[in-house]
Protein backbone atom coordinates (compact mmCIF):
# COMPACT_ATOMS: atom_id res chain seq x y z
CA UNK A 1 0.00 0.00 0.00
CA UNK A 2 1.26 3.49 -0.79
CA UNK A 3 0.16 6.73 0.86
CA UNK A 4 0.12 10.15 -0.79
CA UNK A 5 3.01 11.30 1.40
CA UNK A 6 5.09 8.22 0.57
CA UNK A 7 4.34 8.58 -3.14
CA UNK A 8 5.28 12.26 -3.23
CA UNK A 9 8.42 11.70 -1.13
CA UNK A 10 9.55 8.87 -3.38
CA UNK A 11 8.96 10.30 -6.83
CA UNK A 12 9.79 13.92 -6.00
CA UNK A 13 13.34 12.82 -5.17
CA UNK A 14 13.80 10.65 -8.27
CA UNK A 15 14.61 12.38 -11.53
CA UNK A 16 14.45 10.39 -14.79
CA UNK A 17 17.79 9.52 -16.30
CA UNK A 18 18.81 9.64 -19.93
CA UNK A 19 20.41 6.22 -19.57
CA UNK A 20 17.11 4.48 -20.09
CA UNK A 21 13.53 4.74 -19.00
CA UNK A 22 13.73 5.69 -15.31
CA UNK A 23 17.49 5.19 -15.25
CA UNK A 24 17.83 1.59 -16.37
CA UNK A 25 20.95 0.88 -18.43
CA UNK A 26 20.35 -0.27 -22.00
CA UNK A 27 21.28 -3.90 -22.63
CA UNK A 28 22.85 -3.05 -26.01
CA UNK A 29 21.78 -6.32 -27.60
CA UNK A 30 21.57 -4.71 -31.04
CA UNK A 31 24.40 -3.69 -33.33
CA UNK A 32 24.23 -1.15 -36.20
CA UNK A 33 24.71 -4.00 -38.66
CA UNK A 34 21.70 -5.98 -37.38
CA UNK A 35 18.88 -6.52 -39.85
CA UNK A 36 15.89 -5.63 -37.70
CA UNK A 37 13.37 -6.80 -40.28
CA UNK A 38 14.93 -10.25 -40.29
CA UNK A 39 14.73 -10.35 -36.48
CA UNK A 40 11.04 -9.40 -36.38
CA UNK A 41 8.75 -12.41 -35.89
CA UNK A 42 6.11 -13.04 -38.52
CA UNK A 43 2.56 -12.07 -37.56
CA UNK A 44 1.08 -15.52 -38.04
CA UNK A 45 -1.05 -17.90 -35.99
CA UNK A 46 0.01 -21.24 -34.54
CA UNK A 47 -1.89 -23.10 -37.26
CA UNK A 48 -0.09 -21.09 -39.93
CA UNK A 49 3.22 -21.87 -38.25
CA UNK A 50 2.43 -25.57 -37.74
CA UNK A 51 -0.16 -26.52 -40.41
CA UNK A 52 0.22 -30.25 -39.79
CA UNK A 53 -0.35 -30.36 -36.02
CA UNK A 54 -1.65 -33.77 -34.85
CA UNK A 55 -5.37 -33.85 -34.12
CA UNK A 56 -4.58 -34.83 -30.53
CA UNK A 57 -2.80 -31.50 -29.87
CA UNK A 58 -4.80 -29.40 -27.36
CA UNK A 59 -6.36 -26.39 -29.07
CA UNK A 60 -6.40 -22.79 -27.81
CA UNK A 61 -7.46 -19.41 -29.19
CA UNK A 62 -3.91 -18.71 -30.35
CA UNK A 63 -4.32 -21.41 -32.99
CA UNK A 64 -6.42 -19.10 -35.15
CA UNK A 65 -5.39 -15.72 -33.77
CA UNK A 66 -1.91 -14.21 -33.67
CA UNK A 67 -0.62 -12.29 -30.66
CA UNK A 68 2.58 -11.36 -32.52
CA UNK A 69 1.28 -7.96 -33.81
CA UNK A 70 1.02 -6.70 -30.23
CA UNK A 71 4.55 -7.90 -29.49
CA UNK A 72 5.97 -6.24 -32.61
CA UNK A 73 4.27 -2.91 -31.86
CA UNK A 74 5.60 -3.05 -28.29
CA UNK A 75 9.12 -3.69 -29.54
CA UNK A 76 8.75 -0.75 -31.93
CA UNK A 77 7.85 1.57 -29.04
CA UNK A 78 11.00 0.58 -27.15
CA UNK A 79 13.08 0.97 -30.31
CA UNK A 80 11.83 4.56 -30.67
CA UNK A 81 12.86 5.23 -27.07
CA UNK A 82 16.23 3.57 -27.63
CA UNK A 83 16.89 5.63 -30.77
CA UNK A 84 15.87 8.84 -29.02
CA UNK A 85 18.67 8.36 -26.47
CA UNK A 86 21.53 7.64 -28.88
CA UNK A 87 22.56 11.21 -29.67
CA UNK A 88 25.21 12.83 -27.49
CA UNK A 89 23.84 16.40 -27.78
CA UNK A 90 20.09 16.18 -28.14
CA UNK A 91 17.97 19.23 -29.00
CA UNK A 92 14.40 20.29 -28.29
CA UNK A 93 13.47 19.79 -31.93
CA UNK A 94 14.94 16.30 -31.92
CA UNK A 95 13.10 15.34 -28.75
CA UNK A 96 9.86 16.73 -30.22
CA UNK A 97 10.47 14.58 -33.30
CA UNK A 98 10.56 11.45 -31.13
CA UNK A 99 7.49 12.55 -29.18
CA UNK A 100 5.65 12.70 -32.51
CA UNK A 101 6.99 9.27 -33.49
CA UNK A 102 5.71 7.81 -30.22
CA UNK A 103 2.34 9.49 -30.72
CA UNK A 104 1.90 7.85 -34.12
CA UNK A 105 3.48 4.49 -33.23
CA UNK A 106 0.11 2.87 -32.44
CA UNK A 107 -1.84 4.35 -35.35
CA UNK A 108 -1.95 1.10 -37.29
CA UNK A 109 -2.84 -1.46 -34.64
CA UNK A 110 -5.30 -4.22 -35.58
CA UNK A 111 -8.84 -3.48 -34.29
CA UNK A 112 -8.58 -5.85 -31.32
CA UNK A 113 -5.58 -3.90 -29.95
CA UNK A 114 -6.91 -0.36 -30.38
CA UNK A 115 -7.91 1.69 -27.37
CA UNK A 116 -11.66 2.32 -27.55
CA UNK A 117 -12.29 3.94 -24.20
CA UNK A 118 -15.41 2.64 -22.51
CA UNK A 119 -16.79 1.19 -25.74
CA UNK A 120 -17.26 -2.54 -26.22
CA UNK A 121 -14.30 -4.44 -27.55
CA UNK A 122 -14.14 -5.69 -31.19
CA UNK A 123 -15.35 -9.27 -31.89
CA UNK A 124 -11.82 -10.69 -32.18
CA UNK A 125 -10.68 -9.29 -28.86
CA UNK A 126 -10.33 -11.36 -25.70
CA UNK A 127 -8.60 -11.17 -22.34
CA UNK A 128 -5.18 -11.69 -23.97
CA UNK A 129 -5.58 -8.85 -26.47
CA UNK A 130 -6.97 -6.55 -23.74
CA UNK A 131 -3.86 -7.22 -21.65
CA UNK A 132 -1.72 -6.35 -24.68
CA UNK A 133 -3.74 -3.17 -25.28
CA UNK A 134 -3.08 -1.92 -21.75
CA UNK A 135 0.61 -2.76 -22.04
CA UNK A 136 0.94 -0.98 -25.38
CA UNK A 137 -0.81 2.23 -24.41
CA UNK A 138 0.65 2.59 -20.93
CA UNK A 139 4.12 1.96 -22.38
CA UNK A 140 3.47 4.60 -25.03
CA UNK A 141 2.33 7.09 -22.37
CA UNK A 142 5.34 6.19 -20.21
CA UNK A 143 7.76 6.94 -23.05
CA UNK A 144 5.93 10.17 -23.92
CA UNK A 145 6.24 11.22 -20.28
CA UNK A 146 9.95 10.38 -20.14
CA UNK A 147 10.69 12.33 -23.33
CA UNK A 148 8.64 15.24 -22.04
CA UNK A 149 10.67 15.39 -18.83
CA UNK A 150 13.84 15.63 -20.91
CA UNK A 151 12.25 18.43 -22.96
CA UNK A 152 11.20 20.21 -19.76
CA UNK A 153 14.73 20.24 -18.35
CA UNK A 154 16.23 21.42 -21.65
CA UNK A 155 13.56 24.11 -22.23
CA UNK A 156 14.05 25.39 -18.67
CA UNK A 157 17.82 25.62 -19.19
CA UNK A 158 17.32 27.49 -22.49
CA UNK A 159 14.50 29.74 -21.25
CA UNK A 160 12.20 28.52 -24.03
CA UNK A 161 8.93 29.89 -22.60
CA UNK A 162 6.72 28.90 -25.55
CA UNK A 163 7.98 25.32 -25.41
CA UNK A 164 7.33 25.16 -21.66
CA UNK A 165 3.69 26.16 -22.27
CA UNK A 166 3.35 23.35 -24.83
CA UNK A 167 4.92 20.93 -22.35
CA UNK A 168 2.31 21.79 -19.71
CA UNK A 169 -0.48 21.04 -22.22
CA UNK A 170 1.09 17.75 -23.29
CA UNK A 171 1.67 16.77 -19.68
CA UNK A 172 -2.05 17.19 -18.96
CA UNK A 173 -2.90 15.02 -21.97
CA UNK A 174 -0.56 12.33 -20.64
CA UNK A 175 -2.28 12.33 -17.25
CA UNK A 176 -5.75 12.29 -18.82
CA UNK A 177 -4.80 9.39 -21.11
CA UNK A 178 -3.26 7.40 -18.28
CA UNK A 179 -6.20 7.83 -15.91
CA UNK A 180 -8.69 7.00 -18.68
CA UNK A 181 -7.01 3.66 -19.34
CA UNK A 182 -6.54 2.57 -15.73
CA UNK A 183 -10.11 3.50 -14.81
CA UNK A 184 -11.90 2.19 -17.91
CA UNK A 185 -10.11 -1.13 -18.34
CA UNK A 186 -11.26 -4.00 -16.06
CA UNK A 187 -9.08 -4.36 -12.99
CA UNK A 188 -8.22 -8.00 -13.76
CA UNK A 189 -6.78 -6.80 -17.09
CA UNK A 190 -4.63 -4.24 -15.29
CA UNK A 191 -3.52 -6.82 -12.72
CA UNK A 192 -2.25 -9.08 -15.50
CA UNK A 193 0.21 -6.29 -16.36
CA UNK A 194 0.92 -5.52 -12.71
CA UNK A 195 4.63 -6.35 -12.55
CA UNK A 196 5.51 -3.75 -15.19
CA UNK A 197 2.41 -1.54 -14.99
CA UNK A 198 2.75 -0.30 -11.40
CA UNK A 199 6.30 1.12 -11.76
CA UNK A 200 5.31 2.81 -15.03
CA UNK A 201 2.34 4.45 -13.35
CA UNK A 202 4.63 5.70 -10.57
CA UNK A 203 6.98 7.26 -13.11
CA UNK A 204 4.11 8.87 -15.03
CA UNK A 205 2.96 10.27 -11.68
CA UNK A 206 6.03 12.51 -11.73
CA UNK A 207 4.14 14.64 -14.24
CA UNK A 208 1.50 15.38 -11.60
CA UNK A 209 4.09 16.91 -9.29
CA UNK A 210 5.52 19.02 -12.12
CA UNK A 211 2.21 20.90 -12.15
CA UNK A 212 2.46 21.64 -8.43
CA UNK A 213 1.02 19.20 -5.87
CA UNK A 214 -0.98 21.95 -4.13
CA UNK A 215 -3.38 22.72 -7.00
CA UNK A 216 -6.90 21.36 -6.72
CA UNK A 217 -6.89 19.46 -10.05
CA UNK A 218 -3.49 17.96 -9.31
CA UNK A 219 -4.62 16.67 -5.92
CA UNK A 220 -7.74 15.10 -7.45
CA UNK A 221 -5.67 13.33 -10.11
CA UNK A 222 -3.05 12.31 -7.56
CA UNK A 223 -5.73 10.79 -5.33
CA UNK A 224 -7.18 8.87 -8.30
CA UNK A 225 -3.75 7.52 -9.22
CA UNK A 226 -2.93 6.56 -5.63
CA UNK A 227 -6.27 4.79 -5.23
CA UNK A 228 -5.52 2.66 -8.28
CA UNK A 229 -1.94 1.98 -7.17
CA UNK A 230 -3.16 0.82 -3.77
CA UNK A 231 -5.37 -1.77 -5.45
CA UNK A 232 -2.82 -2.92 -8.04
CA UNK A 233 0.35 -2.89 -5.93
CA UNK A 234 -0.76 -5.32 -3.24
CA UNK A 235 1.03 -8.66 -3.14
CA UNK A 236 0.55 -10.65 0.08
CA UNK A 237 3.80 -12.00 1.49
CA UNK A 238 5.97 -9.72 -0.63
CA UNK A 239 7.49 -6.33 0.05
CA UNK A 240 6.32 -3.48 -2.14
CA UNK A 241 8.34 -3.34 -5.36
CA UNK A 242 10.34 -0.12 -5.33
CA UNK A 243 12.22 -0.71 -8.58
CA UNK A 244 11.93 1.57 -11.59
CA UNK A 245 10.34 0.34 -14.81
CA UNK A 246 11.59 -0.71 -18.15
CA UNK A 247 9.93 -4.11 -18.04
CA UNK A 248 8.33 -5.03 -21.33
Which pLDDT value is given to residue 45?
83
pLDDT at 21: 59
DSSP 8-state assignment for residue 240: P
pLDDT the model gives residue 32: 53
Specify the pLDDT at position 89.
75
Q: What percent of the chain has pLDDT over 90?
A: 31
Instruction: Provide the greatest CA pair distance for the chain.
Output: 68
Between residues 162 and 140, the one the model is more confident about: 140
Is 41:163 a contact under the CB 8 Å cutoff? no
Domain extents for the chain? Answer: 4-14+60-232
* Alpha carbons 196 and 180: distance in angstroms, whole number: 18
Give the pLDDT of residue 3: 53
**Segment 213-219 mean pLDDT:** 69
Rg (CA), the chain: 19
For residue range 175-199, what is the model confidence (pLDDT) as tens digits? 889 999 999 998 899 988 877 888 8
CB proximity list for 206: less than 8 A, separation 6 or greater: 11, 14, 16, 145, 149
pLDDT given at position 212: 59
Q: Which of 136, 139, 162, 135 is nearest to 151 (CA)?
A: 162
Q: How many CB atoms lie within 10 A of CB 12?
A: 13
- Statement: residue 216 has pLDDT above 90: no
pLDDT at 96 (0 to 100) = 94
Considering only residues 239 and 42, tell me which one the structure prediction assigns the higher pLDDT.
42
Q: Residues 64-117: pLDDT tens digits? A: 788 899 999 999 999 999 889 887 778 999 999 999 999 999 999 999 999 988
Per-residue pLDDT tens over the stretch 15-41:
444 344 554 444 455 555 566 677 788
Q: Minimal CA–CA distance to 79: which of 105, 57, 59, 97?
A: 105
Question: Which spans in 105-186 are helix H?
Answer: 127-158, 161-184
Residue percentage of the chain with pLDDT more than 70: 75
For the segment 149-163, the average pLDDT, to the nearest whole number, is 91
Tell me, what's the pLDDT at 20? 45
Amino acid sequence: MVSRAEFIRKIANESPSTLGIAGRQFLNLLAPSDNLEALTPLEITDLELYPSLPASTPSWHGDKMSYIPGLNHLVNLFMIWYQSQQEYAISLSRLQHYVELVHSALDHLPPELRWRGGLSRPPKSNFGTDVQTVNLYITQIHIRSSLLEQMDRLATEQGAAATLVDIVRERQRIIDDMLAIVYQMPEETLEANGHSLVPKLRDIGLALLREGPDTGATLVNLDRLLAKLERLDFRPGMRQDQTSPSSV
